[in-house]
Amino acid sequence: MKAKTREFIFYSDVTDANPNGDLNNENQPRMDDSTDLLEMSDVRIKWFWKHEALANGENIFVKETISEEGKVLDAKGCASKIMLENNIKPEDFEEFLKLNYVDVKFFGVVSTAPSFSLMNTFYINWSRGVHKAEVKYKQGISSFSSGENKEQGTFWSKYMTPYCLFRTYMMYNNRVAEKQNIMITEEDIEKFKKYFLDGIKTYKSTSKNQMPRCLVEIIYKEQYI
């Protein structure tokens, strides 16, 4: 069954971790300067879904792809590789992606060769903390030294927050899908939610320690936002 337009409000929390480091600010947790609330970018949120989708054998176009020479390919190189491996003509590449690559169906893509662009049918906003959260600076000593004949391991340092509850707004727009001739079914949406929630629970590290807490989904009978 074709998926209907819907909105989501999603709550997740972070404990003793850096939810989304800002490389322009010593990798401290991202923060909205006007409100001092912690943030997570939409890319950070999509990362959980993407890795779980890959683990389940889904085709993902926007990911690191290595050439036979061991080099990381750019978008043009990835497109050429896919067309060559699947015997796809440039004029058929857009339709091929829409049918076979789930991240393109949901989040769109910009292709330079061949040239076309697809809008996202599934929109994920930046996440923001619902309360002010403390940011702490931690230091320690690693097990390995920086070289031979050293008396101790190298020092490490990181920023983290003891706790923060985040709210995320998401929306699937059926009209955007129809306009671009992209078929997304209710089964696709259910699979998206499963990968999204499982990915957040599964992919943990010393820098990422998040848990989903509540997902509210509003499915509209008629087109409405």
Q: Which of 21-25, 65-69, 75-79, 108-112 is least confident?
A: 65-69
Q: What digits encode the pLDDT tens for the residues 140-169?
A: 766 555 555 555 567 668 899 999 999 999
pLDDT of res. 64: 87
pLDDT of res. 13: 97
Residues 6+ positions from 217 with CB-CB distance below 8 Å: 6, 7, 8, 193
Residues 6+ positions from 204 with CB-CB distance below 8 Å: 210
As a dihedral over the C-alpha atoms of residue 165, residue 174, residue 110, residue 23, rounded to 10 degrees, the angle is 0
Q: How much is the average pLDDT of 88-111?
A: 96
User: Is 182 within 8 Å of 118 (Cβ atoms)?
Assistant: yes
Q: What digits encode the pLDDT tens for the residues 13-71?
A: 999 999 999 999 999 999 999 999 999 999 999 999 999 999 999 999 999 888 888 88
The DSSP element (H or E) to which 76 belongs, if any, is helix 75-86
- Helices and strands (DSSP H and E) totals, the chain: 6, 12
User: Is 96 within 8 Å of 88 (Cβ atoms)?
Assistant: yes
Pairwise CA distance, residues 73 & 108, whole Å: 19
The DSSP element (H or E) to which 104 belongs, if any, is helix 102-107
pLDDT of res. 105: 96
As a dihedral over the C-alpha atoms of residue 52, residue 24, residue 22, residue 105, rounded to 10 degrees, the angle is -40
Residues 6+ positions from 149 with CB-CB distance below 8 Å: none
pLDDT of res. 152: 56
Q: What are phi and psi of 139, to 5 degrees?
A: -135, 155
pLDDT of res. 166: 98
pLDDT of res. 42: 96
DSSP letters spanning 168-206: EEEEE-HHHHHHTT---BHHHHHHHHHHHHHHHHH---S
pLDDT of res. 157: 84
Prediction pTM value: 0.87
